[in-house]
Amino acid sequence: MLYIGVDLGTSSVKLLLMDEEGQIKSIVTREYPLYFPKPGWSEQNPEDWYSALVDGIKELTKDCNKDEIDGISFSGQMHGMVILDENDKVIRPAILWNDGRTQAECDYLNNEIGREKISSYTANMALTGFTAPKLLWVRKHEPDNFAKIKKVMLPKDYIAYMLSGVHCTDVSDASGMLLFDVKNKCWSKEMLDICGLKEEQMAKVFESYEVVGTLSQKAADELGLPSTVKVIAGGGDQAVAAVGTGTVGEGKCNISLGTSGVVFISSQNFAVDDNNALHAFCHADGKYHLMGVMLSAAASNKWWMDEIIGTKEYSKEQKDITKLGQNNVYFLPYLMGERTPHNNPNARGTFIGMTMDTTRADMTQAVLEGVAFALRDSFEIAKSLGVNIERTRINGGGAKSPLWCKIVANVLNVKVDKINSEEGPAFGAAILAAVGCGKYASVEEATEKLIKVVETTEQDPDIVELYNKKYQVFKEIYPTLKDMFDKMV
């Protein structure tokens, strides 16, 4: 049988066709517009997502036996607000995860309602990207639209609805709405009350691997597929990407060293830190996960190489870096502010410690190390919750650098594994489809059979000790400069 994985991203949808053995048969990408009506705003038309999906699936499946397609599932950009009226028509363009208009609503939730209270309801604090602040914004600024709301949905869930006719969501994506009781896996009545919503306006909640229905006849005809194709709930992009890297089960970890940096830790048990520095969400494997997000990971190195040094020869710039743990230059990788653990949009990128002896290679090394130290901030919070991590998987563009992998291994004091797949979210979605269709008994079983470690970078105890000392210095730099950052805005 064949399974379709859909990765509904911010700029495009990526579609992947996988067979029972995990072999990728075809990949298709379709782009769609992104709109910026005002500075700091970010919106999309949900109908554009569906049109791109229909066109892409036709291309994806043109050469296969369509009767062999058993299921379809999703990875979706999180936090986006899609609101439907009583006729299931989109009321207004979707407000996306990277839209920044809701600072006043977040301040109201965190400061007036209270961060501790919000966290007790949802296990998280309010951030501008989350869905609940967007709904409060619509209630205040577009009351006529708010009054029309029959259903509140997330981006991928709108696609699932268009395919199946079922208003559905899953626990991992719902966790990022600030409307969901993560610990008990249900809608938070308190948060719905705060936002002026009723539970019947929310979608039915499924586990990420559960079947929500089958293709409606209308959708089947549009796609040219049998109406027997099962629609599986899917999940938020980070959770499904974690499935695609095999980061499921107790204490597994994956580091995404992409434009942003993500530390994703899967857990059998619910946990939340006192300061809400880590996101505490449900996982696509039926359990939970912790997640730390830094905003400029590989983006920091790209900025340094492209804009400052003026080169595309990244590996050449790294070849003279050999003395790990012995660099006296430090770099704060806060070029776009920072989320975990500081949650401070005013934080800025900073070099410190240069002398007349400092070389270009020292500066390059400081950038790579600064990102690794910032990732360690998330690790330290996880450790404070009793999570013990001995190895991590790594993916993203930065993971192509053996030196950077070595730095990460020693800064975090963990073994760093690379796996046999780089497809992440779309592959994870296809795995969820296979589990939902009964090919595998669980997400964990599927990933154990389909995903293999192909390379491991191990830490050196001597370098680990050097980096432990360097990290103690690094973590003092931000608190020292915080007030100065605020004055620079």
**Active-site residue among 173, 237, 362, 377?**
237
Pairing of strands 24-31, 12-19: antiparallel
| Burial class, 89, CB count within 10 angstroms (exposed 0-12 / middle 13-18 / buried 19+) | exposed
Q: Which two tokens stand for residue 125?
A: 């604090």
Write the secondary structure of 397-418 as one string of H (helix), E (strand) and C (coil). HHHHCHHHHHHHHHHHCCEEEE
Catalytic site residue 237?
A: yes
**DSSP code of residue 144:** H
Q: Which two tokens stand for residue 374?
A: 């910032």
For residue 408, the one-letter residue type is V
Query: Is 249 within 8 Å of 207 (Cβ atoms)?
Result: no
Q: Which of 413, 316, 418 is nearest to 372 (CA)?
A: 413
Q: Which two tokens stand for residue 154?
A: 């997330």
| Burial class, 103, CB count within 10 angstroms (exposed 0-12 / middle 13-18 / buried 19+) | middle
Q: Which of 418, 415, 378 is nearest to 397 (CA)?
A: 418
Radius of gyration of the chain (CA): 22
| Burial class, 20, CB count within 10 angstroms (exposed 0-12 / middle 13-18 / buried 19+) | middle
Widest distance between CA atoms in the chain: 72
Binding-site residues for substrate, in ranges, read 78-79
| Burial class, 382, CB count within 10 angstroms (exposed 0-12 / middle 13-18 / buried 19+) | buried
| Residue 16, beta-bridge partner list | 5, 27
CA 216 centroid distance within chain: 30
Query: Is 188 within 8 Å of 182 (Cβ atoms)?
Result: no
For residue 449, the one-letter residue type is K
CA quadruple 143, 148, 153, 155: dihedral sign: negative
Q: Which residue has the tokens 């400092």?
A: 358
Helices of type H across 224-351:
237-244, 298-302, 314-318
Binding-site residues, in ranges, read 78-79
Dist CA 399 CA 418 (whole Å):
8
Q: Strand, coil or helix: what is 103?
A: helix
Q: Which of 261, 209, 173 is nearest to 428 (CA)?
A: 209
| Backbone torsions φ then ψ of 304, nearest 5 degrees | -65, -45
Active site residues: 237
